[in-house]
Chains A and B, each alone.
Chain A
Amino acid sequence: MNPVEGLLYGLELVFTAELLVAAFVGAAAGTAIGVLPGLGPVAGAALILPLTFTLPPAAGLIMIAGVYAGSMYGGSTTSVLMNMPGESASVVTAIDGYEMTRQGRAGPALSIMAVGSFIAGTIAIVLVTLVSPLVARFALLFGPAEYLALTGGGLLVLARVAGGSPASGYFPMVLGIMIGTVGVEQITGVFRFTFGFQELALGFSLVPVAVGLYGLAEILMIVEDPDRAAKVRSVRLRELMPSREDWRRAWAPWARGSALGFFFGLLPGPSATLSSFSSYRLEKAVSKHRDELGTGAVEGVAGPEAANNGAAVGSLVPLLSLGLPFSATFALMLAAMVVQGIQPGPLLIEQRPDIFWSLIASMYVANVMLLVLNLPLVGVWVSLLRIPKSMLMPGILVIAVLGAFSTRSSMLDVWVLVVMGAVGYLLRKLDFAMASLIVGLVLGPFIEKHFREGMFLSRGDLGYFLDSPIAIAIWALALVVMFGGGLWRLVRRRLIGAEAEKVKLEVED
């Protein structure tokens, strides 16, 4: 069966009333779960998993796919509306998405997200169809050395995702890495920096940190300056939809983000987060409107949102062709398959093409459902902003506290939320980039883990990390991105001549 026939076969299997209902219920439940801070894709899939045990295999899997796509979208919705990212992949969406909301353009931002997720799903499906046999074993090329390069190089590049001076990016990044070291050390189980608090053993979880840094700090900012708050001009249909100009500007970021996300999805690790941040970084480098990023540019929403959906579809390739779940959500999906008596592995495509292609198709159907469900909901979300500030802000505060507490039923997380709110407020006042803190917190533990695995594997030989062409290439690329701009300016100075440069330097001083 060739891939195109395969996909059509899969779609044929999926287009039954029962499976469409499953996809719809999954997408709706996922959106609801995603909108609540504290419940992300993993918690959503875990909640729905026991239900899928009682359904036929295809319906169960399609429902999890729906929850996954839905909660990713829902998490970004709160990012855009309230500057409150529900999970790490949504953090970067908050930068431009929330600025758009403040300018009264929440509707277009949410529509761009919904359509972008759908388009990314489509592009990634096409990529899966065309290249999945070729890239099935791609993940096997990556070992600890390559992952260290990917996460370590990624950290250096992404720390400056929001622009600004190097210090404004690297200081919060280091803070994030430090927070990430708190808790049980992954390999030997030693307690680090817990100061005798049993609860700290689990470490800082991302939700209270992100909601505190962004949401709580934002509320403090609004209290200080009520004019900051989002304006809602009206919720007339025309203003809910993106303008012609918005559509035109969204296409290229959608395409770039989808391809980037698909690539990251093929690899283990925090692929949704890495891909959304990288997409933002890419837009900053190549977009025609790069100077507007950070001030409410469509590109800053379109790219990252496409990327995290592309990653979701891309992750299906290693899951199905190797039986290796590269994220917690996919581990749950694998569990759902195993319970149904399906053991994914290298022979799945040959032995069970029906499962392989219907899963790919189901991811697609989940994306369609998301679009159908969420475009009409855009108006509802936007009208939430019309609630008077004096009621909306306390309401958000209550939801944030509930969300922080509910992740692990731990009071500690509520304190983390409060402290992070204060930290976020301070950092914001001092003009630091908070996205870097999240990058450090998410990637720091991965970097440590891959470094230690590599050291075990090579019996302590540091040369191991540079013994692979892929690792060297990734490090080189990271260095080029970091220093390339500066070097280019240096070269250009030489070309233009020393005289002109002197004048310019004096002006800059």
Chain B
Amino acid sequence: MSERGLRGALAITSALALVACGSDSGGGGEAAAGGNGEAWQPNRPITYIIPYGTGGSTDPIGRQFASQLSEELGVEVIVENREGAAATIGTTGIVTAQPDCYTLGLSNHQALANQAALNPDLPFQTTEDYTPLVKLGDIPVVLAVNADTPWQTLDEFIAAAEADPNGIGYATSGAGGTPDTNAKLLEIRTGVELNRVPFSGGGGEALTAAVSGEIESIGTFYPSMQGFVESGDLRPLGVFYDEEYPLLPDLPLIGEEYEGVSMPAAYYTIAPTDLDEECRDTLVEVSERIVTSEEFRQFAEENGYVVDPIQLDDLAQEIDDYRPVFAEIEESDA
């Protein structure tokens, strides 16, 4: 009895392992529709590297792109999460892959412009070291205060911060993260001084502190604070961005009022440099089609992104434009 039971258990276990392994196979099969006269037609699965963990806040937009890429090209696209070291591990994986168009992935302005400058050993020092295929979108940081604080507008908040240097607390998800960086920019440009408190346990703890009134203000992405804005616990005062943010069209743009105080988290799809010309053109064309599609736009907007479909030289220019800003932040001791 026991031996048979054991065998059964083994069989069940291995069957389950198979189920788990096959988990990504959802997107592949049905997509023979793609490749409408493309010059390059992949004949095996493509790997899409995401330099963040499964289930992180960035994972979904990468997966959305990967699943549409699979539909467009008619082959399976396997998402590989390679997290760690501020996205540099995954980005290194993309940049150093074979330039055969079968490996591409997601990266961001922080890894490509800032980490590259901080660590000369990284293999992506300039935009020549990879192919900047397409920009997926920006997600700006929103500044909000606890609803019990007296400040109703951005100007009142800034005035209060000027009057009380280092007196107003500003919760962030961690030192050096995008919400922290935007506050540093604000400090550099306006001369105010906030008491920036890095909560290291993901965004949740910073949010708890701001909602409970433990800390006066917070900078974070809108989707995570939206519930508390709707329930009246938090009051958004401004967006660290310099164009209209469709989710909050009435809020003042901090990047407009204070020159350059606008650094959204920006996500890109990149590929190794020196791709074969044939497949490179196909990827450029297909990725533009994805990012401008209704499906992608709708997904992005629901998740708080602003779609901005720039490619290649324009995208390289954007990455290069971020470099002096990061250098300025690194040099200041705000």
Binding site for B on A (CB under 8 A): 25, 28-29, 32, 46-51, 53-54, 139-144, 186-189, 202, 235, 268, 322-326, 331-332, 334-336, 338-339, 341, 343-348, 377, 379-380, 383-384, 386, 449, 453, 456-457, 459
Contact = CB atoms under 8 A, between A and B. Distances in A.
Question: Which are the 9 A-B pairs with shortest beta-carbon distances?
Answer: A345-B227, A335-B55, A51-B23, A383-B2, A140-B212, A346-B231, A54-B26, A143-B214, A332-B55
A188 B84 CA distance: 16
Contact of B6 (A187, A322, A380, A457): A380
B327 interface: no
B56 interface: yes
Contacts of B54: 46, 49-50, 332, 335
Given A141-B212, A383-B6, 17 more contacts: A47-B23, A51-B23, A142-B208, A143-B209, A187-B174, A189-B176, A268-B208, A324-B207, A324-B208, A325-B202, A335-B54, A346-B228, A347-B227, A379-B1, A383-B3, A386-B2, A453-B198
Contacts of B224: 323
A457 B214 contact: yes
B195 interface: yes
Nearest to A141: B212
A272 B13 CA distance: 26
B297 to A, nearest CB: 15
B6 to A, nearest CB: 6
Contacts of B1: 379
Interface string B231-250: 10100000000000000000
Contact of A187 (B13, B53, B175, B226): B175
Contacts, number: 140
A344 B224 CA distance: 9
Interface centre among A25, A324, A325 (most CB of B within 10 A): A324
Contact of B227 (A187, A335, A348): A348
Given A457-B197, A459-B195, A345 B20 contact: no
A268 B16 contact: no
Contacts of A268: 201, 204-205, 208
A187 B198 contact: yes
Contacts of B3: 383
Contact of B16 (A32, A144, A322): A32
B228 A345 contact: yes
Contacts of A189: 175-176
Interface centre among A53, A189, A341 (most CB of B within 10 A): A53
A29 B20 contact: yes
B16 A331 contact: no
B5 A379 contact: yes
B39 interface: no
Nearest to A198: B85
B142 interface: no
A268 B207 CA distance: 13
Interface in B54-70: 54-56, 59-60, 63
B212 A143 contact: yes
Contacts of B195: 456-457, 459
A322 B201 CA distance: 16
Nearest to B26: A54
B16 A339 contact: no
Interface residues of B, number: 57
Secondary structure at chain B's binding surface: helix, strand, loop or mixed?
helix
Contacts of B13: 32
Contacts of B60: 335, 338-339
Contacts of A338: 60, 223, 303
A457 B215 contact: yes
B190 interface: no
Contacts of A322: 208, 211, 227
Contacts of A53: 26, 63
A48 B223 contact: no
A380 B5 contact: yes
Contacts of B55: 46, 49, 331-332, 334-336
B163 interface: no
Given A324-B204, A335-B56, A449-B200, A47 B20 contact: yes
Contact of A453 (B199, B207, B211, B223): B199
B292 interface: no
A305 B146 CA distance: 39
Contact of A139 (B175, B208, B231): B208
B274 interface: no
B24 interface: yes
A379 B12 contact: no
A456 B198 contact: yes
Contacts of B79: 50
Contacts of A453: 197-200, 205
Interface in B101-142: none
Contact of A28 (B6, B12, B166, B223): B12
Contacts of A28: 12, 16
B67 to A, nearest CB: 9
Contacts of A449: 200-201
A64 to B, nearest CB: 10
B230 A347 contact: yes
Interface centre among B19, B199, B226 (most CB of A within 10 A): B199
Interface string B9-40: 10011001101100110100000000000000
B198 A383 contact: no
A12 B195 CA distance: 50
